[in-house]
Each structure stands twice: as structure tokens, then as C-alpha cells.
Amino acid sequence: MDIYNQIGELGVAGVTIPEEYGGAGLSYQDLCVVLSELAKSSVSYAVTLSVSTMSQSILAEFGNEEQKKKYLPALTSGEEIAAFALSESHSGSDAAALKTTAKKVEGGYILNGTKMWITSGGIAKTYIVMARTGEEGHKGISAFIVRDGAEGFSYGKKENKMGWKVSPTRELVFENCFVPEEDLLQTEGMGFKIALSALDRGRITIGSIAVGLAQRALDEAVKYALDRKQFNQAIFDFQGLQFMMTDMATEVECSRLLVEEAARNFDNGIKNQKVACMAKLKATDTAMKVTTDAVQVLGGVGYTSEYPVERFMRDAKVLQIVEGTNQIQKVVIGRCLKKEYAQ
């Protein structure tokens, strides 16, 4: 938290949130630059900021004045972290199948159920929780603000992950947890649309994290290859390796341009889900490929923790899974193509 607090001191804990709530009032293109730079050092911190910003954007866009004033300032200052709770054990890609219930009672709702894979679970103070207030399917889902410490709200299993070691991933357990009426976002039944529209931007920011990570892996690989000599020459000058690095550089550049395009669309109010999903897909697949190739360029030492590239490779993998697996991105891109060509 002390390091995250410093992100706040730098003024970037709420890049896209309006200034009146303590944010920087900047664009998604700006946020992508911040996240890319942060990811060059630590994907864990970048993703903590990305998910907190996505959750803040839900409050900023869908919250009423009272909710915004109450919850945003502690988040935009970096004093607190926010988290997004959609997934459950049986409901990952099929997000609309979630089972956590929110039963209407006098003055509020009673939540019961368990959320899984929650980034910043246990360290976040404000949670945006999707729960079922009505019928099966997406129409019965509502979004709630739940605070750490609420009665009936506890933390379950903490995952032991391959990467993202600084970013805790944890279950949230709701056992007759009372949430006051004023902490419902918008109206009953709006939860799925709120979640998916937040993911539209979350996918762009995950893409920007992937770009920063891939760029850093490329930097490490080229620097090492220029320095390391075998057969009386820098290994960079062996065309087999050089072409590997030119491919890495080309893929990083393509990904950066696609992420920038997706963010620019968003900033200009152009809803282009296809490009947002393409940006997430391309950039995260690139991060996986480039970090793996960086380990190859460094050879034996690349596989050890003496150099950072093995961490980059471990941190890259889950970028292909979170905020919609890359297969889900293809489902959405496919749906967009079908619509486009059927017109």
C-alpha cells in the first residue's frame, strides 16, 4: 500500500476521473501511457491501478452525486484501492450466469454468495459487486457498492499464482451481508450492462499494460544481445537472433498503435468494441510471445531470477486470460464482423 500511495502522490491514481472528485480529468490515451510506463517495472502495480481505475470509472459514470462524492476522493488520491467483482467459480466467461444473490429487504439488500478471482481482494476498500436481484440471465443482475468491513462480508481463499505476485487475487464471501439501498448503482437489472461497459475500457487498459511489458522485455533482450559475445561477435549480429528481435519490435509497435487507436476512439466517444477487443487480443498475445522470446535471447541466464525476463514471461501469461479471455475477445470480434457484413 505504501508504494500504491505514492502512485496517488504522483497524481495518477484516478487519471480519467473528473477533477471535481480528485481525479486528473485526463483521457484514456493518457491513462494508457501511465499504465504502459508502470508495467515496464511492475505489471502487478499496473494492474492494481488499472482495475481500481475501471471500478472508479463505474462510480464516475453510473454513480449518483452522493455516491461519487462519498467514494471517489479516497480512490483518486491513492489512499484506497477499488475492485471489480463479477466472476464466480462456475461463471467466468459466461458472466451472465452468476449466482450471488441480492435479496430486497427493508432499506436495502441482503447479499449471499462467493466471488472468485478478484484482483485486489482483501486490500481494496471499495468493491463493485454484481449480484442477482431478479430472473436468470443478464436482465436479473444489479451492481452494488460494498465496503471492506461490512458485516457478513469476508475474504476467502487467496490464490497462489504463477505471476502478478504483488497483486493479491482472492475470493469474496458474502453471508447475509446487508447493503443499504443507497449503495445500489443505477436501478435493479442494470448490473450486467454496467459491468460490460466497464470491461470495454478495462480491455483497452489491459492492452496498454501488455504493451509496456512487451517493450521492456524487448529492451532487455536487445541490450543483452548487443553486449553478449559468442564466436567473437555480439550475438545481436547473428541474423537468426536479429530477425527474432526485429519481429519482436514490429509486434510491439503494431500492438501500441492498435491500443492507441482503441483509446483514441474511446476518448472521441466512438464506441468501437471490435477495435477494443482486437487491441486486448493483439497486445496480450504479443506480450506473451515477446517475453518468451526475450528469455530465449538471454538463454540460460534469462531463465533465472538474476534477470527480470522470466518474471515478465510469468506476468504476461494471465494478461491473455483476464478481463475476458482472448477467446472471448474473438467471440466479440466475430459478432461485430457478422453485424458489419450483414448490413
Active-site residue, 151 included: no
126 part of the interface to ligand CAA, by CB under 6 A: no
CA–CA dist 79, 118 (Å, integer): 19
Q: Which residues contact 13 (CB under 8 A, 6 or more apart)?
A: 4, 7, 49, 52, 53, 75, 76, 77, 78
CA–CA dist 323, 270 (Å, integer): 21
Q: Could you tell me if 118 and 108 are in contact, meaning their C-beta atoms sit under 8 angstroms apart?
A: no
Strand partners, 144: 129, 184
In what helix (H) or strand (E) does residue 317 lie, and over which residues does it extend?
helix 309-317
208 part of the interface to ligand CAA, by CB under 6 A: no
Q: Which residues contact 231 (CB under 8 A, 6 or more apart)?
A: none
213 part of the interface to ligand CAA, by CB under 6 A: no
330 part of the interface to ligand CAA, by CB under 6 A: no
165 part of the interface to ligand CAA, by CB under 6 A: no
Minimal distance, residue 5 CB to ligand CAA, in Å: 21
Binding mask 19-58 toward ligand CAA (x if CB under 6 A, else -) reads: ----------------------------x---x-------
Minimal distance, residue 81 CB to ligand CAA, in Å: 12
142 part of the interface to ligand CAA, by CB under 6 A: no
Which of 13, 16, 102, 124 has the alpha carbon at shortest distance from 60? 16
Rounded to the nearest angstrom, the gap between the alpha carbon of residue 316 and the centroid of all alpha carbons in its chain is 12
DSSP strand E in the chain: where? Answer: 82-85, 101-105, 108-119, 126-132, 141-147, 153-158, 169-180, 184-185, 229-230, 233-234
Catalytically annotated residue among 20, 37, 323, 340: 323
User: Is the CB of 144 or the CB of 192 nearer to ligand CAA?
Assistant: 192
Record the cell numbers describing residue 342, joined without a space.
Answer: 450483414
CA–CA dist 4, 45 (Å, integer): 7
Q: Which member of 4, 21, 62, 84 binds ligand CAA (CB under 6 A)?
A: 84
Minimal distance, residue 201 CB to ligand CAA, in Å: 10
User: Is the CB of 241 or the CB of 259 nearer to ligand CAA?
Assistant: 259
Q: Which stretch binds ligand CAA (CB under 6 A): 62-70, 125-133, 254-262, 324-332?
A: 324-332
101 part of the interface to ligand CAA, by CB under 6 A: no
15 part of the interface to ligand CAA, by CB under 6 A: no
Q: Which member of 193, 264, 314, 317 binds ligand CAA (CB under 6 A)?
A: 193
Minimal distance, residue 51 CB to ligand CAA, in Å: 5
Q: Which residues contact 79 (CB under 8 A, 6 or more apart)?
A: 5, 8
The DSSP bridge pattern shows strands 153-158 and 141-147 to be unpaired
161 part of the interface to ligand CAA, by CB under 6 A: no
Q: Which member of 119, 133, 265, 320 binds ligand CAA (CB under 6 A)?
A: 119
Question: Would you please indicate which residues are annotated as catalytic (active-site) residues?
Answer: 323
Interface contacts to ligand CAA, rule CB under 6 A: 47, 51, 84, 86-87, 93, 95-96, 119, 138, 192-193, 196-197, 199-200, 273, 322-324, 328, 331-332
